[in-house]
Structure 1
Amino acid sequence: MVRRVSSTFLKGDLESAILYSVILTELGIVVFKDEKLEKTFPFKDSVREYVSVKKKESKLKELVDYLSPLQRGITVSDESVMTLLKKNSIDAQMMEEKELESIQSSKPQIIVDAGFAQSIPDALTKLREFAMGLSSSKVTEVSESPDLHIIQAINSLDEIDKIANGLSSRLREWYGLHFPELDNIIDSINGYAQIVLAGKRDALTKKYMRMQDFQNLKQI
């Protein structure tokens, strides 16, 4: 049964207009002829199938089989769909910007007319659920990328190195007020920190020096 679309995004000069319009929605693909809904291709797994189309990985077999016999021109609302159709020797062109804007503004109604939702509120709910599912899938995809983990590890090491350098500089400045000569005696921040742990310079006994492997240093 053919249902008439309530929106007016396909109105115009029917003599010159391209008759078949293919619209990609988040819940499936819809084909219109003039202002009438001709065919729908609902997604069973909306997020997975939508992403597959956007990545140009989907074969769109049912849509291709349906459009292949058509002799008249076809316009599409999505560049990925156009690319996939052209791979199957189907001449498709992108819709004009004004048509795309009209489709976007009337998408909930298109979804209802296509039978993907029972009402406008239901369509909005399903679109919201789709958006949440799409966001979740992108987070999962990114988090599973080995390259991302390597990049994060390198960035973390860089941050740790900056923090360590900043703390070592602050330590030398602070303890240098009490023991300024030490800065010229020990270059290693690890060794410097061990001296600082002794507290006041009077606590730097020969025994402590030997324990910290500073046998060659003189008590100052």
Structure 2
Amino acid sequence: MFLPLYLITTSEGIGVYRDGEKLLFLEAKSEHIPEIMEGKLPREFVDEIEKRFKGEEILVDDKRIVEWLSQYLLVKLASDDDLREIKRIRRKIKDEMEEWNRIRDVSIRMTRERIRRASADRDKLIIQAIEAVDDLDKSINLLVSRLREWYSLHFPELNDVKDHEEYVQLIKKYGERSKFPEKYLEIAKSSMGADMEPEDLEVMRSLASRIEELYRMREELVKYLEDLVPRVAPNLGILVGPLLAARLMSLAGGLEK
């Protein structure tokens, strides 16, 4: 002989239980709430109960559900003894839900910790990248200063071009002052600089080419940081921008500091 079946509603949903064991369960969804409040059950759940437990009597502690469900299933209002069993099952459900919530909370904390540690590892990449950018800036400034001083022997008037990168590109592209574009030719013709052998100018152009490569490398690192910082430290990145965020991380020694 089967032990009795109990239909029990909780805040989590509706379930059919036997001896405290959940046999069938429907998670409570927003679309089900109006029906349940009226003492009704979703029809698909009723059909599933009928299919699974056809002919078995089901004990229910809600008179409204009994009245409505009796048109579909063999149901009965729970007696006092049955109510004690239903309360026991509800306590068990509550305990299981509390345990589940504890497990879920621990899982969430562990996941957050893994993300935090992963981010902490990633912030080391950010620190190295921004320090590489700063090293490149120092190298570029030093080499541009050397190139300006050197090339000024040939075309000192070009120092009026204040933008370092533009200055470097002009030397790399033209070298000899007489080959500069028209906007510079008038100045070039009256330049106070000395004439130079092609091989001397070629060495300067080669240096300019290397400096330009450093500029491209810097651009790649900046792009890398602009992509990485929002993923590792999104709030800080939004607040101060990717590069400054990276420098702050570098100064602090990492996100955890």
Decide: shared fold, TM above 0.5. Answer: no
Higher helix proportion? 2
TM-score, normalised with respect to structure 1: 0.38
Structure showing greater radius of gyration is 2
